[in-house]
Structure 1
Amino acid sequence: MKRHFNTTGPVIPEQHYCVDPMTRLDWEDVQYLIGAGKFFVLHAPRQTGKTSTLLTMMDVLNQSDEYQCLYINVEPAQAARDDVSAGMLTIVNNLVEGAAIRLKETRLRDWRETIWRNSGPHGAFSALLSRWAQESDKPIVLMIDEVDALVGDTLISLLRQLREGYIGRPGIPFPHSVILCGVRDVRDYRIHTKHHEIITGGSAFNVKAASLRMVGFNRAEIETLYAQHTAETGQAFEPMVFDALWEDTHGQPWLINAIGHELTWKDKTARDRSTPITLERYRAARERLIYSRSTHLAQLADKLREPRVHRIMAALLTGDENLSGIPVDDLEYVNDLGLVEIRPQIRISNRIYQEIIPRELTWVEQSSITHQQAWYLTPQRHIDMPKLLSAFQQFFRENAEAWIERFDYKEAGPQLLLQAFLQRIINGGGRINREYGLGRKRTDLFIEWPVDEEKGFYGDVQRVVLELKILRKSLETTLLEGVEQTAGYADQCGADEAYLIIFDRRLNVDWDDKIWQRQEQWQTRSIGAWGM
């Protein structure tokens, strides 16, 4: 079988299109840290290519004949939770069998039982490594993957055994260099012990020399990856595909490969390699991927429930500029998860995540909304936006208080509820593009609706912008600011229609005063303003 885009597990160059893993890190820095005998951390968001990079590094180091390098994955020990004995036995067994399979080093099997009996769960891993280092004719480099998947006292035991081994050198033999790998930096480990203590990874493993963070692909690497498909199959991509792919993913490797798989295999018509991949084919593939709620995207949504993530993401979803009081560690943690970029300013990492987050936060609500697309279509098959917004006004009046209480993100409740309503109506025919930004104090939505079902986005497209604002100042000031902003966004998108939605969350104001509709004018553009 020819090579293909990989979305599961480590890269196998013979089977998968790939960016050379050895270019994903500064190899000179890695060599220095290993040569100096340092213990250090490699971290990156999920499905960024960490494991592929570690495995390639292991092969390179072993081929150099200077080190004996072993990669192990300790995630299976997560199932032991706080049962330290079961967890550490799993880790010891992974070490022993990994050495036997990857390095043909079987002596650890002979030492395992005696060392476990004499040292117990809190010392056997360290003792086994010490014995191996004593018997090895080369310095040992140990790579431990998925460390932050461990839980509670099992994680504490592992970190402390490594720390004690490091401190005991050179008098006591121990691996020359250890690399801890996971999604988070060790400083972000919040370890809950069975005695209800909270211990940070930084205190349990305070011998870390450096933290290396893997970044996603750059624009050139994306094009190189896709060019491999073109070279092997002859199938071409329109240049505009790469502009959209970069903005949608900002280099996130799993997303890039997943879209490539959607484009070249899941779309069965594209299996005919003479079919060029156009921008519209790309957009359709992107929407299918978002709607698939794949494991990667579900894991992303799961992180939104963590308290350390919640406040930062809520501020972004509402456009609030107030992040004062949030610890720097929390901001760096959310960045390490890949949810946000913090330079040049804090923002949700890419356009696909911008789409996924509100959909996941309102998935149940979307399914519960009974309104149908057909109710809001004109005879010419345009979306009747005034009719749709009028229906949402009534829906919001009747349901807002009860529904928003269900949301984890109550701060962004009105915006999320409108997006859930729109998603129910637009999904399956059109597209909703979202823009958020810290300090914007608004959410911008851009709807694209194909008027001709047969031609789809190749034919006439209705383009509508909606700007969502929370009433924080006087109504007249909010209207004045909002109308100008909405007109600017409509001009930017080339929209035919523009609407400003103002949510009034004051508890002491009657619904009759919150619900209104009027037409506003900004220069030559007419803007529908709706109060809710």
Structure 2
Amino acid sequence: MSRHFNTTGPVIASEHYCIDPMQRMDWDEISSLIDAKKFFVLHAPRQTGKTSTLLAMTDTLNQSGEYIALYINVESAQAARGDVSLGMRAIWGALADSAYYRLHNDCFNQWREELWEKHGATGVFKAGLSRWAQQAALPIVLMIDEVDALVGDTLISLLRQLREGYIGRPGVPFVQSVILCGVRDVRDYRIHTSHHEIITGGSAFNVKAKSLVMGSLSRAEVEALYAQHTAATGQVFCSEIFAELWEDTHGQPWLVNALGNELTWEDKTARDRTTPITLERYRAARERLIYSRTTHLAQLSDKLKEARVRSVIEPMLKGADSDQSLNPDDVEYVQDLGLIERARNGAISITNRIYQEVIPRELSWGSQMAITQNQAWYLTAQRHVDMPKLLNAFQQFFRENAESWLERFDYKEAGPQLLLQAFLQRIINGGGRINREYGLGRKRTDLLIEWPLDEEQGFYGEVQRVVLELKLLHKGLPATLAEGLEQTAGYADQCGAQEMYLIIFDRNPNTSWEDKVWQRQESWQERIIGVWGM
């Protein structure tokens, strides 16, 4: 079978388009840490290429003739949770199997009963590694993947046995270097013991020399990856897609590969390799991927339920003024998960445009499914979306249902913005697109609706473009209105939209609905802007 874009599991160079994993890390730094007998951490968001990189590093070290390197994955021990005996048996099994199949060494199966009887669950892993190091002809490098999947006392036992082995050198033989790999840095492990204590990973594993972060693909690497498909098949990607691809993914490897797969395989018409991949084909593939709610995107939505994640993402969704109230540890944690990135000036933003689109969709999915609205009711005879009619309907819906519906959201502070987006998504889905921009310091959420006026031509034909600015009332109505009108007109200019609307949410519980609900038209530099109060 010819090579293809990989969306599941480690990269296999003979089967998948790929960037050499060894080029994605600073190998000089890693090899110097190994030479110095250090224990360290390599972490990166899910489906970034960690496992592929560890396996490539293992092969490189083994081929060097200077080390014995072994990769193990301990995720199977997650099910044991705080049961140390069960968890360590799973970890020992992973160690024994990997040594047998990757190094053709059956020592851990041979030592199993003796060492377990002598050392028990809380010492057997250290004892096994010590005996191996004593007998090995070369220094050993052990790479442990999915460490942060472990739970409670099982994780504490593993970390402490590794620490004891490190501290006991050189008097007691032990492995030369250990690389812990997972989504999070060890400092972010919050371990709940069976005695209801909370122990941080940093305290249980205070011999860590360094934490290395594995980054996403560069823009040049993204283009090089797609060029491999063109070289293999002759199929051409139109050059204008790459600017969009970069903004949508910022090089997140799974997203880059998933879009490549969507473009070249899931779009069955593109299996004819003489078909060029155009910008509109790309945009359609992007929308299909977002709407599919694949495993990767479902994992992202699951993380949104965590309190630490909510504390960072919610202010961004509601357009908070600044990040002064954010907990720095929570910001680092959410950054480690790959959901946000920080600019050099400290500004925080959602990592890429697809995540920016997916997050509010996921948070409002239940509401979107529960809203009963008929798309056809909001279309004119010319197949335009009748935005005043739609906003009037939402205004009445919001007035009647806000209190009960907003209680359904985990992100209550951003509830009005999410509820309007759920309402719009219910109408626009299946015909048009909604693009979103939001973040700390923006003081608003920008929405761009794109609606094709000809069903047959779709986005290749004439498109209705509508801008909506969502703002919370602050500093009084005149100041909020003046700021909002300028922002709305500016965003419309940026998007080339002819229709523009400003929606102002008043969250003051002491203000009556009669005062909150209103609508009017305002002008800003010869532009007419519809304004709705809610």
Q: What band does the TM-score fall into relative to the shorter chain?
A: over 0.9
Q: Secondary structure at the match of 2:407?
A: helix
Aligned ranges 1:216-255 → 2 under 5 Å: 216-255=216-255
Distance 1:120 1:240 in 2: 61
Question: In percent, how many aligned pairs have the same letter?
Answer: 73
Aligned ranges 1:479-498 → 2 under 5 Å: 479-498=481-500
Aligned ranges 1:22-101 → 2 under 5 Å: 22-101=22-101
- Structure 1 unaligned blocks of 5 or more: none
Q: String of CA shifts for 1:385-441, please: whole Å, max 9, x gaps.
A: 000000000010011110101100001000000000000000111010000121111
Aligned to 1:399: 401
Q: Residue type matched to 1:320 in 2?
A: A
Aligned to 1:134: 134
Aligned ranges 1:318-337 → 2 under 5 Å: 318-337=318-337
Distance 2:192 2:342 in 1: 28
Give RMSD over aligned pairs: 0.7
Query: Is residue 323–residue 440 contact of structure 2 (8 Å, CA) maintained in 1?
Result: no
- Structure 2 unaligned blocks of 5 or more: none
Aligned to 1:338: 338
- The alpha-carbon deviation at position 509 of structure 1 amounts to 1.2
Q: Secondary structure at the match of 1:217?
A: coil
Q: String of CA shifts for 1:317-358, please: whole Å, max 9, x gaps.
A: 111034334332211111010000011420000110011001
Distance 1:526 1:491 in 2: 13
Q: Residue type matched to 1:496 in 2?
A: Q
Distance 1:247 1:363 in 2: 24
Q: Secondary structure at the match of 2:240?
A: helix
Q: Secondary structure at the match of 2:275?
A: coil
1:327 and 1:508, CA in 2 relative to 1: closer, same or farther beyond 3 A? closer
Q: Residue type matched to 1:246 in 2?
A: W
Q: Residue type matched to 1:366 in 2?
A: Q
Q: Secondary structure at the match of 1:466?
A: strand
Q: Tell me whether 100-109 or 231-240 shows the greater mean CA deviation.
A: 100-109
Aligned to 1:16: 16
Q: Residue type matched to 1:218 in 2?
A: S
Aligned to 1:438: 440
Q: Secondary structure at the match of 2:141?
A: strand
Q: String of CA shifts for 1:24-67, please: whole Å, max 9, x gaps.
A: 11000000000110000000000000000000000010000100
Q: Residue type matched to 1:420 in 2?
A: A
Distance 2:392 2:332 in 1: 42
Q: Secondary structure at the match of 1:406?
A: coil
Q: Residue type matched to 1:519 in 2?
A: Q
Q: Secondary structure at the match of 1:40?
A: strand
Aligned to 1:296: 296
Distance 2:13 2:183 in 1: 24
Q: String of CA shifts for 1:462-494, please: whole Å, max 9, x gaps.
A: 000000001122111111110011001100100
TM-score, length basis structure 1? 0.99
Distance 2:370 2:97 in 1: 50
Q: Tell me whether 312-321 or 146-155 shows the greater mean CA deviation.
A: 312-321
Q: Secondary structure at the match of 1:425?
A: helix
Distance 1:103 1:144 in 2: 16
Aligned ranges 1:373-412 → 2 under 5 Å: 373-412=375-414
Aligned to 2:266: 266
Q: String of CA shifts for 1:220-273, please: whole Å, max 9, x gaps.
A: 000000000000000000111110000000110000000000000000000000
Distance 2:465 2:40 in 1: 51
Q: Residue type matched to 2:243 in 1?
A: D
Aligned ranges 1:434-473 → 2 under 5 Å: 434-473=436-475
Distance 2:418 2:17 in 1: 38
- The alpha-carbon deviation at position 108 of structure 1 amounts to 2.0
Aligned to 2:516: 514
Q: Residue type matched to 1:96 in 2?
A: A
Confirm whether residue 474 of structure 1 aligns to residue 476 of structure 2: yes
Distance 2:384 2:33 in 1: 62
**Structure 2 counterpart of 1:367, from 366, 369, 385:** 369
Q: Tell me whether 361-370 or 322-331 shows the greater mean CA deviation.
A: 322-331
Aligned to 1:256: 256
Q: Residue type matched to 1:351 in 2?
A: R
In the TM superposition, structure 1's runs of 4+ consecutive aligned residues that sit over 6 Å from their partners are none
Q: String of CA shifts for 1:168-194, please: whole Å, max 9, x gaps.
A: 000000000000000000000000111
Q: String of CA shifts for 1:436-463, please: whole Å, max 9, x gaps.
A: 1211110000010000000001100000
Q: Residue type matched to 2:461 in 1?
A: G
Distance 1:363 1:99 in 2: 45
Distance 1:405 1:129 in 2: 53
Query: Is residue 37–residue 177 contact of structure 2 (8 Å, CA) maintained in 1?
Result: yes
Distance 2:527 2:322 in 1: 32
Q: Secondary structure at the match of 1:195?
A: coil
Distance 1:482 1:19 in 2: 45
TM-score, length basis structure 2? 0.99
Aligned to 2:427: 425
Q: String of CA shifts for 1:107-144, please: whole Å, max 9, x gaps.
A: 22211110011100000000000000000010000000
Distance 2:238 2:181 in 1: 37
Confirm whether residue 123 of structure 1 aligns to residue 107 of structure 2: no
